[in-house]
Amino acid sequence: MAHDRFLRALSREPVDATPVWLMRQAGRYLPEYRALREKAGSFLSLCQNPELACEVTLQPLRRFNLDAAILFSDILTIPEAMGLGLHFVAGEGPKFEHPVRTPEAIAKLAVPDIEDELGYVPAAIKLIRRELDGKTPLIGFAGSPWTLATYIVEGGPSKNYEHLKALMFNEPAAMHQLLDVLARSTAAYLNAQIAAGAQAVQIFDTWGGVLSPANYREFSLNYMQRIIADLKPGPDGHVPTIVFTKGGGAWLETIADAGPTAIGLDWTINIDEAVARVGDRVALQGNADPAILYAKPERIRTEVADILTRFGDTPGHIFNLGHGVTPQVPPEHVEALVEAVHEFSAR
List per-block mean pLDDT (blocks of 10 residues) for the chain, which spans 347 residues.
87 97 97 95 94 98 98 97 91 90 96 97 98 97 98 94 96 98 98 98 97 98 98 94 97 98 98 95 97 98 98 96 97 98 94
CATH architecture of the region 26-63+71-246: Alpha-Beta Barrel (3.20)
| Helix, strand and coil percent figures for the chain, each rounded to 5 | 55, 10, 35
| 33 annotated to a ligand binding site | no
Q: Count Cα atoms within 13 angstroms, Cβ side, for 285.
A: 34
| 161 annotated to a ligand binding site | no
| 8 Å CB contact between 124 and 54 | yes
Residue 1, pLDDT score = 52
Distance in angstroms (rounded) separating the CA atoms of residues 30 and 59: 8
Residue 91, pLDDT score = 77
| 26 annotated to a ligand binding site | yes
Residue 2, pLDDT score = 61
Q: Of the listed 12, 24, 101, 301, which one is catalytic? A: 24
| 177 annotated to a ligand binding site | no
Domain regions of the chain by residue span: 1-14+267-347, 26-63+71-246
Sign of CA dihedral 33, 39, 41, 47: negative
Q: Is 63 a catalytic residue?
A: no
Q: Is 74 a catalytic residue?
A: yes
Residue 296, pLDDT score = 98
Q: Is 184 a catalytic residue?
A: no
